[in-house]
Amino acid sequence: MKTVGSQIRKKDSRGKVSLIILVYNRASVIEGIIKEFYSQVIKKLPGSEFIVAEDGSTDGTKEVLDRVKKQIPIRLVQGRERKGYIKALRDSLDAPRNGLVFRSDADGEHVPSDFWKLYEKLGNYDMVVGYKVRRKPFYRLLISRVNNFFIGLLFGLWLKDANCGFVLARKEVIDSVKKDMGTLRWAINAELAIRAHAKGYRITQVPVQNRYASSEIFSPSNMPKVIFQQFTQLFRLKAELMEQKKERQKSMELGK
């Protein structure tokens, strides 16, 4: 039986891109990040769009974006109040108009030109996930490897950096999973890949550069809580996907 993913792979991987970055309190760096992504990606793919999802910043980020918008053709997706990362991400995934969706974190950790590594690889795949090489600090690398192992064990999806926020996928893939997103609070990027994999889409990975950026969420003091909740949520997601599989099988049997 053909999967949804196998049907999509018949289409040409080339095409216009919808680039999405989520922004919260990045006033000091966001202008440079936007300009770099625009020059390295958007300008080189005519017809592509640049979506900036701003989530209730309070540090002057809104004012910076208003200024940048007058210089660079970006689409702002924002609200008056903070939604939180998961809700902001889901809302941003409703915005793309093009056939390919490229997501990147907006903390300066990724090198925009690495997009082309993902773009070249997409041909026979539905999603390409970056994995950071020479990642720092060490404790983040260690936690990532443990997380990757359990994701592989539970879901059969073996990635070197499952929660990497540097992803290129076909819009059909995003549309098929976005409404269910939100179970993995601390690993929403990994959840995107896990749900796509569970639906039969084909996923691969490529190495990307890593520029160190500090994180409030994954600070050393916050790690015990994050790790405990992450493992709890992984098993919750596993149970959810197993239940969905049973329901699909039941529907198929009733349809015979």
Coil vs helix vs strand at 12: coil
Give the C-alpha distances (Å, rounded to integers) separating 40 from 8, 19, 35, 52, 133: 27, 12, 8, 16, 20
Instruction: Compute and round to an integer the Cα radius of gyration of the chain.
Output: 18
What pLDDT does residue 2 have?
A: 41
Number of domains in the chain: 1
pTM: 0.87
Residue 32, amino acid:
G
The model's pLDDT over 41-100, given as tens digits with 9 standing for 90+, comes to 999 999 999 999 999 999 999 999 999 999 999 999 987 788 888 888 888 999 999 999
- Chain-wide mean pLDDT for the chain? 88
The range of the structural domain enclosing residue 179 comes to 4-255
The model's pLDDT over 115-159, given as tens digits with 9 standing for 90+, comes to 999 999 999 999 999 999 987 777 778 888 999 999 999 999 999
- The CATH number for 24's domain is 3.90.550.10
Q: Please tell me the number of Cα atoms within 13 Å of 19 on its side-chain side.
A: 31
